[in-house]
Amino acid sequence: MIELRNLSKSFITSSGQVDALQHVSLTVNDGDIYGIIGMSGAGKSTLVRCINMLERPTEGSVLLNGRDLGALNKKEIQLMRRKVTMIFQSFNLLMQRTCLQNILFPLKLAHMPRQEAETRARKLLETVGLPDKANAYPAQLSGGQQQRVAIARALATDPEVLLCDEATSALDPKTTHSILELIRQINRDTGITVIVITHQMSVVQEICNRVAILENGTVVEEGDVSRVFSRPQAAATRALVFPEAEQDELLLGAQGNQLIRLVFDGSDTTNTPLIASMAIDCGIAASIISASTRTLSGRVYGYMLLEIPGGPDELAQAVKYLSGTPGITVQVDVEYRAKEAAQ
Amino acid sequence: MNQFTRAFTPEKLQEAWHVFLTEFPMGLWETLYVTILSTFFAILLGLPLGILLVTGDEKGIRPLPQALMKVINVLINFLRSVPFLILIVMVIPLTRAIIGTSIGSVASIVPLVVAAFPFVARLVESSLRELDPNIIEMAQSMGASTWQIIFRTMLPESVPSLVTNFTLAITTILGYTAMSGAMGGGGLGKIAINYGYSRYKYAVLYLAVIVLVLLVQVFQSIGTHLAARLDKRIKK
pLDDT of residue A335: 47
Highest-scoring range by mean pLDDT, A279-283, B166-170, B208-212: B166-170
C-alpha R_g of chain A: 24
- Higher-pLDDT residue of A23, A322: A23
Closest alpha carbon to A110 in A157, A54, A63, A46: A157
* pLDDT at residue B1 tops 80: no
Contact at 8 Å (CB) between A252 and A259? yes
A83 touches chain B (CB under 8 A): no
B152 with A109: Cβ contact below 8 A: yes
Dihedral in degrees, nearest 10, Cα atoms A66, A71, A74, A80: 10
pLDDT of residue A249: 64
Dihedral in degrees, nearest 10, Cα atoms A184, A189, A195, A199: -10
ipTM of the complex: 0.87
pLDDT of residue A337: 43
Tell me what the pLDDT averaged over chain A comes to.
Answer: 87
In whole angstroms, what separates CA A102 from the centre of its chain? 28
pTM comes to: 0.84
The DSSP bridge partners found for residue A197 are A36, A165
Can you tell me the distance from the alpha carbon of A206 to that of A198, in angstroms, rounded to the nearest whole number?
12
pLDDT of residue A342: 44
Closest alpha carbon to A35 in A304, A235, A224: A224
A159 touches chain B (CB under 8 A): no
Residue-wise pLDDT tens digits, A233-261: 777 787 777 766 666 666 666 566 778 87
Chain A residue nearest residue B147, CA to CA: A109
A92 touches chain B (CB under 8 A): yes
pLDDT of residue A336: 47
pLDDT of residue A340: 45
pLDDT of residue A254: 59
* pLDDT at residue B121 tops 80: yes
Please give the C-alpha separations between residue B170 and each of A96, A329, B32, B89, B118, in angstroms, as whole numbers. Answer: 24, 76, 10, 22, 14
pLDDT of residue B183: 81
pLDDT of residue A268: 60
Contacts of the segment B20-27: beta carbons below 8 A, 24+ positions apart: B20/B204, B20/B207, B23/B191, B24/B188, B24/B191, B24/B207, B24/B208, B24/B211, B27/B186, B27/B187, B27/B188, B27/B190, B27/B191, B27/B208
The amino acid at A208: C
Can you tell me the distance from the alpha carbon of B9 to that of A3, in angstroms, rounded to the nearest whole number?
90
* pLDDT at residue B73 tops 80: yes
CA atoms in the 13 A half-sphere facing the CB of A89: 12
Backbone dihedral region of A292: left (phi > 0), alpha (psi from -120 to 50 degrees) or beta?
Answer: beta
Residue-wise pLDDT tens digits, A34-92: 999 988 888 899 999 999 999 999 999 999 999 999 999 999 999 999 999 999 999 99
Q: What is the mean pLDDT of residues B197-203?
A: 81
B79 touches chain A (CB under 8 A): no
pLDDT of residue A311: 79
| Residue of B142, B226, B235, B236 best to disrupt the A interface, most CBs of A under 10 A | B142
Residues of B in contact with A85 (CB under 8 A): 141-142
In whole angstroms, what separates CA B195 from the centre of its chain? 26
pLDDT of residue A229: 78
* pLDDT at residue A106 tops 50: yes
In whole angstroms, what separates CA B138 from the centre of its chain? 34
B135 touches chain A (CB under 8 A): yes
pLDDT of residue B205: 87
**Segment among A296-305, B95-104, B164-173 with least mean pLDDT:** A296-305
A135 touches chain B (CB under 8 A): no
| C-alpha distance from B36 to closest chain A C-alpha (Å) | 27
Q: What is the mean pLDDT of residues B62-74?
A: 96
Residues of chain A with pLDDT > 90, as a percent, come to 59
* pLDDT at residue A341 tops 60: no
- Higher-pLDDT residue of A277, B111: B111
* pLDDT at residue A328 tops 80: no
A85 with B235: Cβ contact below 8 A: no
The amino acid at A163: L
| Cross-sheet strand order for the sheet of A16-28 | A16-28, A2-13, A59-64, A67-68
Contact at 8 Å (CB) between A34 and A212? yes
Residue-wise pLDDT tens digits, A137-152: 999 999 999 999 999 9
Question: What phi and psi, each to the nearest 5 degrees, are found at residue A158?
Answer: 55, 60
A137 with B138: Cβ contact below 8 A: no
pLDDT band (50, 70, 90) for residue A319:
confident
Residue-wise pLDDT tens digits, A181-210: 999 999 999 999 999 999 888 899 899 999
Q: What is the mean pLDDT of residues B71-89?
A: 94
* pLDDT at residue A339 tops 50: no
| C-alpha distance from A140 to closest chain B C-alpha (Å) | 6
For A35, the 3-state DSSP assignment is strand
Tell me what the pLDDT averaged over chain B comes to.
Answer: 92
pLDDT of residue B212: 92
Contacts of the segment A53-56: beta carbons below 8 A, 24+ positions apart: A53/A77, A53/A80, A53/A81, A54/B137, A54/B140, A54/B141, A55/A9
In whole angstroms, what separates CA A327 from the centre of its chain? 26
pLDDT of residue B84: 93
pLDDT of residue A192: 97
Q: What is the mean pLDDT of residues A98-112?
A: 96
Residue-wise pLDDT tens digits, A112-128: 999 999 999 999 999 99
Q: What is the mean pLDDT of residues B73-78?
A: 96
Closest alpha carbon to A321 in A265, A281, A261: A281
DSSP A139: G
* pLDDT at residue B49 tops 70: yes
